[in-house]
Structure 1
Amino acid sequence: VQRTLQSLHKVSSKSELQKTYTNLQKELKKLDHLAYKRQQDLKSNRQRDDIAAARASLKENSSLLHSVCSACLEHSDIASLKASKDSVCNEIQNALNAISNASQGTGKQKAEPKSQAATLGTALDELEQLVVLDPLMVKEDKIRPSLEKRLEGIISGAALLADSSCTRDLHRERIITECNAIRQALQDLLSEYMNNELAFRLRVDGEKVLCMYRFTAKLSFDLER
């Protein structure tokens, strides 16, 4: 997996990207199956939760990898895109290391769950920045799939953390409720943007964006508890 990840980081064409990404997805699927089996075999609750958190991180970040690598190929001169690609690749590498450490009973046992929550918190912060758009410049066929995919990656990661054996029932229900609220808030915000009228700009920024911020802040708080 690590060799394929390194190859993906260096691809120079769309065809090479597609081929390498497909191989990586197959390898990650096999790894997830093996990691899950190891997770069930471990006696330590902490180590099981470490692997669960790392699996969530892999699922979340691998879902973003193709789009961010593709964007880098199209806009190689934009430094922020390269930084995003490096960040996603680093998160995947960290998750691979966490699975290896937990499986062998090594590493900082107490750090990984917080690390995963911090990863999701960072992703939520990035989402907050991305939803602030100029309604006159929004193109639904590009903006909607991108934001929805990013949000679903976050929600998938949050759901895996919610299913952790150390998560209380009430806390689990609250995370699920907040994920659904964020999903609906994003749809409401996108609907407002699709009106594409200057008169809506202040109301969109003042109401719908703040609504998104409110829900993302609540979810970030609960993920870090």
Structure 2
Amino acid sequence: MVDVHLLLKNLHVVENDLEKLKNASSQGELIDNIKAFRHNTNELLNQSAKRQQELDPQLRDDLAAARAVLKKHSTILLKASKVYVRHPELAAVKANRDYVLKQVCGAVNTINGVAQGGVTQPSSCPYDGPRELAAALDEFDDHTAMEPLAYNEVHTRPSLEERLESIISGAALMADSSCTRGERRERIDAECNAVRRALQNLLSEYMSNMGNMGRKTRDLRRQLRKAVVDHNCLLLISFHIW
């Protein structure tokens, strides 16, 4: 009973940490919250592992699955939260952060219920994954369709790569769901890698076009400078003749 009490006490601390992560509005605030969340989550995982050994097989499996989800998706949540704090105006980034948050909340709720005897609580983080991810992909497509000359290697590439990785993180979470069939999971993973390659090819093509354009403009500048020299020479000749 003492162990269960300590576990539940730490679980409520983790719930408070999740709320702070969700509401963080600056990188500094987020980093502080991340440190606390990591420490308290590790404590919760260790305490729930001890509790797991005391349960019947079914509850033991439920708790083991919840612990695995919490361990894996906590890392993804930290990454998604960092991206969201940098780009809170992007709907796709928020959707992905919320989706990951739902998975972590669900795992914490399961641990809470199993630790108290097997009664799980519904997740308090509603999120329609497929719909939001579809919208995020549409928005991503809109941002990749640009004029080659509008591409900026310093700003555009990191932004697009960050958007895509955010979407892929959400897709990976859906693939890991128990509702997703094995062959579908493999297909999602393969398509995610294909999209990554396609983006890199597209960005390379943009850079190639910009390189060609840069060479052409340099050639034009060179010819214009020569024309200026010709023009000045002609003026000097005309002056001496006059």
Same-fold call, TM > 0.5? yes
Letter of the 2:190 partner, please give it: Q
User: Given that residues 59 and 153 in structure 1 are in contact (C-alpha distance below 8 angstroms), is that contact kept between their aligned partners in structure 2?
Assistant: no
Aligned sequence identity (%): 26
Letter of the 2:113 partner, please give it: N
User: Given that residues 63 and 153 in structure 1 are in contact (C-alpha distance below 8 angstroms), is that contact kept between their aligned partners in structure 2?
Assistant: no
Letter of the 1:69 partner, please give it: S
The separation in 1 between residues aligned to 2:99 and 2:195, in whole angstroms, is 27
Deviation at 1:39?
2.3
The separation in 2 between residues aligned to 1:77 and 1:34, in whole angstroms, is 38
- Partner of residue 73 from structure 1, selected from 85, 95, 101: 85
Deviation at 1:88?
4.8
- Partner of residue 51 from structure 2, selected from 25, 38, 41: 38
Q: Secondary structure at the match of 2:56?
A: coil
Letter of the 1:141 partner, please give it: E
Deviation at 1:56?
4.1
Pair 1:146 & 2:146 matched: no
The separation in 1 between residues aligned to 2:108 and 2:201, in whole angstroms, is 43
| Matching residue of 2:18 | 5
| Matching residue of 1:201 | none
Deviation at 1:80?
7.5
Question: Pairwise mapping of residues 197-216 of structure 1 onto structure 2 (< 5 A)?
Answer: none
The two structures have a TM-score, normalised by structure 2, of: 0.53
Cα RMSD (Å) of the superposition? 3.9
The separation in 2 between residues aligned to 1:30 and 1:193, in whole angstroms, is 40
Pair 1:181 & 2:181 matched: no
The separation in 2 between residues aligned to 1:55 and 1:21, in whole angstroms, is 18
Letter of the 2:193 partner, please give it: Q
Deviation at 1:41?
2.4
User: Given that residues 92 and 136 in structure 2 are in contact (C-alpha distance below 8 angstroms), is that contact kept between their aligned partners in structure 1?
Assistant: no
Name the larger-Rg structure: 2
- Partner of residue 104 from structure 1, selected from 102, 109, 116: 116
The separation in 2 between residues aligned to 1:44 and 1:178, in whole angstroms, is 29
Letter of the 2:75 partner, please give it: S
Letter of the 2:17 partner, please give it: T
| Matching residue of 1:209 | none
The separation in 2 between residues aligned to 1:15 and 1:124, in whole angstroms, is 32
Distance 1:131 1:11, change over 3 A: closer
Deviation at 1:31?
1.5
Distance 1:56 1:66, change over 3 A: same
Distance 1:125 1:34, change over 3 A: farther
| Matching residue of 1:212 | none
Distance 1:26 1:105, change over 3 A: same
Question: Pairwise mapping of residues 4-23 of structure 1 onto structure 2 (< 5 A)?
Answer: 4-23=17-36
The separation in 2 between residues aligned to 1:53 and 1:43, in whole angstroms, is 14
